[in-house]
């Protein structure tokens, strides 16, 4: 199964190494695919493993830690449905391209982004749509509301994934507070989002999915210390900082 890196409690002391668990939208609610028509499920043998976002009819953005060490055999995406493993359009993945600088040298996944080229184009419509990319170095102020979505677990300790797509609103967090929470695990390619007091977050099995701001793919679900824990917001790959990679691979 593809996994989201979840940092141990030792992270707050800048000790230890990340452990690996699976992801979820914690504190969310059922949403319709029409509310996030760019959302896809990355699947192996028709089983959900990670999220992703449609950036062109034949290209999906996801997290590199979702595809690291994987091949295209048995990999597909499901788009255009709120239901995790039923309906919509299912298209095989033709090619995986991880960011060439993807690494976990700092103990967290840096340059955590990958592009999936599809075997055929998606048919776009109300339930299947392209999400806009940010401009180079585009930023939003702390407190800006964002939408996260995915099919990950809805409560810590659950074993059953939700059937229906989940969504939740979170706020962008200033970089100083993000670094204060995670120390040296945060790089310039990352930012944090969450809510005061915790309780709302993305996590395992939501990995690779979108954080959308004003109709723009601002972030890709990457990692965190647990899910929804107070003082530890979710960490996202900053899409505006990896645009060159996206442009080079997709030609967008």
Do the bridges between strand 114-118 and strand 59-62 make them parallel or antiparallel, or are there none, so unpaired? antiparallel
Catalytic residue among 22, 48, 49, 65: 65
Q: Please count the other Cβ atoms lying within 10 Å of the Cβ belonging to residue 12.
A: 16
- Does 207 qualify as catalytic in the annotation? yes
- Does 105 qualify as catalytic in the annotation? no
Using CA atoms, how far apart are residues 34 and 150, in angstroms rounded to an integer? 13
Using CA atoms, how far apart are residues 40 and 129, in angstroms rounded to an integer? 10
Backbone angles phi, psi at 28, to 5 degrees: -100, -165
Catalytic residue among 76, 149, 202, 207: 207
Using CA atoms, how far apart are residues 46 and 29, in angstroms rounded to an integer? 24
- Does 65 qualify as catalytic in the annotation? yes
Q: Among candidates 60, 76, 66, which has minimal Cα distance to 1?
A: 66
Q: Please count the other Cβ atoms lying within 10 Å of the Cβ belonging to residue 175.
A: 16
Catalytic residue among 22, 112, 201, 205: 112
Q: Among candidates 68, 70, 200, 220, which has minimal Cα distance to 131?
A: 220
Q: What CA–CA distances, in Å, run from 50 to 40, 137, 161, 181? A: 9, 26, 12, 25
| Concatenated DSSP letters of 14-55 | T-S--EEE---EET-EE--GGGSTTEEEEEETTEEEEEEEEE
Active site residues: 65, 112, 207
């Amino acid at each position: 199964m593809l996994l989201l890196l979840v940092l141990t409690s030792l992270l707050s002391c800048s000790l230890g190494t990340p452990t690996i668990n699976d992801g979820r939208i914690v504190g969310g609610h059922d949403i319709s695919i029409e509310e996030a028509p760019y959302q896809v499920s990355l699947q192996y043998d028709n089983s959900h493993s990670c999220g992703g976002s449609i950036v062109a009819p034949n290209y999906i953005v996801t997290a590199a830690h979702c595809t690291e060490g994987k091949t295209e055999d048995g990999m597909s995406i499901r788009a255009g449905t709120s239901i995790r493993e039923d309906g919509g359009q299912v298209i095989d993945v033709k090619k995986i391209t991880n960011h060439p600088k993807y690494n976990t040298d700092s103990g967290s996944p840096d340059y955590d982004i990958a592009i999936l080229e599809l075997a055929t184009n998606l048919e776009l419509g109300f339930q299947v749509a392209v999400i806009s990319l940010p401009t180079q170095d585009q930023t939003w102020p702390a407190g800006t509301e964002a939408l996260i979505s995915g099919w990950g677990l809805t409560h810590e300790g659950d074993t059953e994934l939700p059937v229906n797509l989940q969504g939740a609103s979170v706020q962008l967090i200033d970089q100083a507070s993000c670094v204060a929470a995670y120390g040296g695990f945060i790089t310039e390619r990352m930012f944090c989002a969450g809510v005061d007091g915790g309780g709302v977050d993305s996590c395992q099995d939501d990995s690779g999915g979108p954080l959308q701001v004003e109709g723009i793919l601002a972030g890709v679900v990457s990692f965190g210390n647990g899910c929804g824990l107070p003082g530890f917001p979710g960490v996202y790959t900053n899409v505006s900082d990896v645009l060159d990679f996206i442009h080079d691979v997709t030609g967008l």
